[in-house]
Structure 1
Amino acid sequence: MDDIPEAREIPESTVEEMVRSIEPTLEPREIDAAERGFCSVYRIVASGSDAARERYLKASPDGRPWGIPTEARIQAILAAHTSIPVPDVFGVVDGHGTLPTPFYLMRALPGEELPYECVSRFDDGVLRRLARETGEHLAELHSVPAVDRFGHVRHDGPELTGGRPSDDPAELTVGDPREDWPTYLRDRVGRELDRHADSRFSDLTDELSQWFAAGIGELEGPFDPVLGRNDHGLHNLLVEPETGEITGMLDWGYTLAVPAAFDVEFAVYLLSGAFLAGLPDVPDRRPLVRDAMLSGYRATAPDRAETLSMPEPLYEALAMVRIMNDFHHLTVPDGTEPAVVDRIRGDVRGLLA
């Protein structure tokens, strides 16, 4: 896995030049660095000819693509073909002689951005609405006719120097594609378990490896690739915390072409907050989240929803491995970390048994 870089700091004068390369008449009035992932992200409040407008500029942290060009294209496609709340993309610059590329400029959306762990603090009604809306949006995402093989989604459109990206799904493609899902899944599991061997849960790696190998060998198709969000943490959503309404779905650079069931099971585990169920006041709400998510999915895509009715433990287990690999990024109350770790180990042991 690539080492995650530190986001480079971009001078304010350069940010202004980047903004104007896309919207020449926009006049930045405020420019603030935003703490968002590892990319260089800036919030821009601009005064135009009519009223103040708010934008976000997202740029590579080090000059490598990091999925940024594809992310902008995916957002343009989703904005045109679905009701998924994604930021409107005003323009993309894939390469430039002097500016730090790639980058794109997007409209700000309402709602609050909350840490990963806050999902475990929502009351049942709020979490149920968030899960149902997630199901509705995933059903729309999975219905976009864009991919026919499995792998990391890329774009195959023309290079842009400030223009709006195309909203044609045909311009999405798959990098290093696989036609066979079990083959691709073995590769993905292998990469995650390589990371797992360096985690604090490494004593489980060998058993997990054997368990996955046996389970993947028993998977039965057919498997149809769809656009899969995969990066389902609460931190990649904008929400109304009092109601659970999703006002924005952010960060599409990790979009994969996968079976719909894979995407749904990942979302159920990550949005249920089950990874924090070791805390005394945090229940395991996977059943609540799964029922609500499938309810939303069924209302939007009833034909496909039937194929999701039976959970697939392999996919949930891979979501657990992701949490274990990134456990050091979680924030838990002081003194509770051993209990959280023990609960995750217990969940994994339950699957292995």
Structure 2
Amino acid sequence: MDEVPEARAIPDPTVEEMVRTVEPGIEVERAVPVERGFCSVYRVAVEGGPTRTLYLKASPDGERWGIPDEARLQAVLHDRTSIPVPEVLGVVDAHGDLPAPFYLMSALPGEELPYEHVGRFDDDALRRLARETGAYLGELHSVPAVDSFGHVRHDGPGLAGDRPSGHPDTLTVGNPRESWSDYLRAYADREFDRHADSRFSDLTPDLTRWFEAGVDDLAGPFDPVLGRNDHGLHNFLLDPESGSITGMIDWGYTLAVPASFDVEFAVYVLGGAYLAGLSDVQDRRSLVREAMLSGYRASAPDRTDAVATPDPLYEMLAMVRLMNDFGSLDLPEGTEEAAADRIREDARELLAGDRYG
């Protein structure tokens, strides 16, 4: 796995030049760094008529880190769906002097909440979030963009400040796999390698055997679709009054996968099972699944059958990924052991149960 760099600070004059590379003639009033993972992200207030807010996202070290691909994908979703994604104003794939690749995008309204806050929503708020997520996933899965499995990449000319095309044929799959089981095995191997170094490593052998015993018994269809994959609450913007989704951000980890794989990851993350070890948090996967399917059915009725039946193997992989990232959770002081114990118990129940019962 590639070593993840830290976000680098970009001097104000350089930020201004980057913005003007995309939108000549506007003046930067101020630029404020924003913590969004390891990429360098700046909230930029610009003049040129009424002051407006934009976001600049740049590589931390000159490597791609999916930035050009994310920009093209967001352009497709902005043009082809009602999914609330930032409008991409322009992309610079390479530059001799500026920290490329980078792109400039519009700001969206709404409030960003921590990943763990999903356990604090009341049932009505969580049901609304899940229903709207399901509807947007139905739209995402309906975009005709991929025909094999793997990481979504862009397939088109390099850009030097222009807006990317919003046509799905600008997207492709890097290192594509035609076989879903082959791709899934490679995906699982990477996650199990990480799992063997986690605090849950005592479970790694049993989880690996359980996966191998079931991967060939998966029921299709295995049609590749654009999969959001990164469903953490921190990647949503919400209206603080209504709780409705006003933005879905950070698309750099989009995969081409079967729709059911993507939906199971969303159900696990938004259902909050990994927080159920806390005394005041419930496992609400059933509530989330029902609401998500309701929304999915509304936007993609012809696809709903493909996601209606959950597969425990996909749920297990979502659980493994959460265990691998457990150290990143911001838990109340003194609750880490209880949360970890509940996740471990959940995994053992899955291993002991009827796989399709």
Q: Which residue of 2 aligns with 1:20?
A: 20
1:295-334 aligned at under 5 Å gives the runs 295-334=294-333
Q: Distance in 2 between matches of 1:100 and 1:312?
A: 43
| RMSD (Å) for aligned C-alpha atoms | 0.8
Counterpart residue identity of residue 26, structure 2 = L
Q: Which residue of 1 aligns with 2:39?
A: 39
Is 2:128–2:244's contact at 8 Å kept on the other side of the alignment?
yes
Secondary structure of 1:303's aligned partner? coil
| 2:130 matches 1:131 | yes
Secondary structure of 2:91's aligned partner? strand
Counterpart residue identity of residue 236, structure 1 = N
Q: Distance in 2 between matches of 1:242 and 1:343?
A: 33
Q: Distance in 2 between matches of 1:333 and 1:313?
A: 29
Q: Distance in 2 between matches of 1:75 and 1:213?
A: 35
Query: Which runs of no fewer than 5 residues in structure 1 stay unpaired?
Result: none
State the Cα deviation string for residues 305-347 of structure 1 (Å, max 9, x = none). 1222211111111111111001110011111111100100011
| 2:54 matches 1:55 | yes
Counterpart residue identity of residue 85, structure 2 = V
Counterpart residue identity of residue 31, structure 1 = A
Q: Distance in 2 between matches of 1:241 and 1:138?
A: 22
CA apart distance, 1:244: 2.4
Is 2:221–2:258's contact at 8 Å kept on the other side of the alignment?
no
CA apart distance, 1:272: 1.3
CA apart distance, 1:145: 0.3
CA apart distance, 1:26: 1.6
Percent of matched pairs sharing the same residue: 70
Q: Which residue of 1 aligns with 2:147?
A: 148
1:146-295 aligned at under 5 Å gives the runs 146-295=145-294
Is 1:129–1:243's contact at 8 Å kept on the other side of the alignment?
no
CA apart distance, 1:241: 4.0
Is 1:45–1:52's contact at 8 Å kept on the other side of the alignment?
yes
Alpha-carbon distance change, 349 to 241 in structure 1, aligned in 2, over 3 angstroms: farther
- What TM-score, normalized by structure 2, do the two folds share? 0.97
Q: Distance in 2 between matches of 1:69 and 1:323?
A: 27
Is 1:126–1:242's contact at 8 Å kept on the other side of the alignment?
no
Q: Which residue of 2 aligns with 1:100?
A: 99
Q: Which residue of 2 aligns with 1:9?
A: 9
CA apart distance, 1:30: 1.2
Q: Which residue of 1 aligns with 2:355?
A: none
Q: Distance in 1 between matches of 2:93 and 2:273?
A: 39
Q: Distance in 2 between matches of 1:202 and 1:158?
A: 44
Report the number of matched residues.
352
Q: Distance in 2 between matches of 1:67 and 1:221?
A: 29
Q: Distance in 2 between matches of 1:47 and 1:316?
A: 47
Q: Distance in 2 between matches of 1:344 and 1:66?
A: 31
Q: Distance in 2 between matches of 1:352 and 1:144?
A: 35
Q: Distance in 1 between matches of 2:187 and 2:103?
A: 29
CA apart distance, 1:118: 0.6
Q: Which residue of 2 aligns with 1:64?
A: 63
Q: Distance in 1 between matches of 2:4 and 2:243?
A: 31
CA apart distance, 1:134: 0.2
Q: Distance in 2 between matches of 1:199 and 1:217?
A: 27
State the Cα deviation string for residues 13-35 of structure 1 (Å, max 9, x = none). 10000000000122110110001
Q: Distance in 1 between matches of 2:220 and 2:280?
A: 40
Secondary structure of 1:130's aligned partner? helix
Secondary structure of 2:304's aligned partner? helix
State the Cα deviation string for residues 96-154 of structure 1 (Å, max 9, x = none). 01000000000000001111001110111111111000000000000000000000010
Counterpart residue identity of residue 38, structure 2 = F
Alpha-carbon distance change, 122 to 242 in structure 1, aligned in 2, over 3 angstroms: farther
Counterpart residue identity of residue 173, structure 2 = V
Counterpart residue identity of residue 5, structure 1 = P
Q: Distance in 2 between matches of 1:308 and 1:227?
A: 14
CA apart distance, 1:47: 1.2
Is 2:135–2:295's contact at 8 Å kept on the other side of the alignment?
yes
Is 1:278–1:343's contact at 8 Å kept on the other side of the alignment?
yes
Is 2:146–2:226's contact at 8 Å kept on the other side of the alignment?
yes
Q: Distance in 2 between matches of 1:92 and 1:179?
A: 30
Q: Distance in 2 between matches of 1:300 and 1:219?
A: 26
Q: Distance in 2 between matches of 1:332 and 1:54?
A: 32
Q: Distance in 2 between matches of 1:244 and 1:236?
A: 14
Is 1:29–1:46's contact at 8 Å kept on the other side of the alignment?
yes
Moved more, 122-131 or 302-311: 302-311
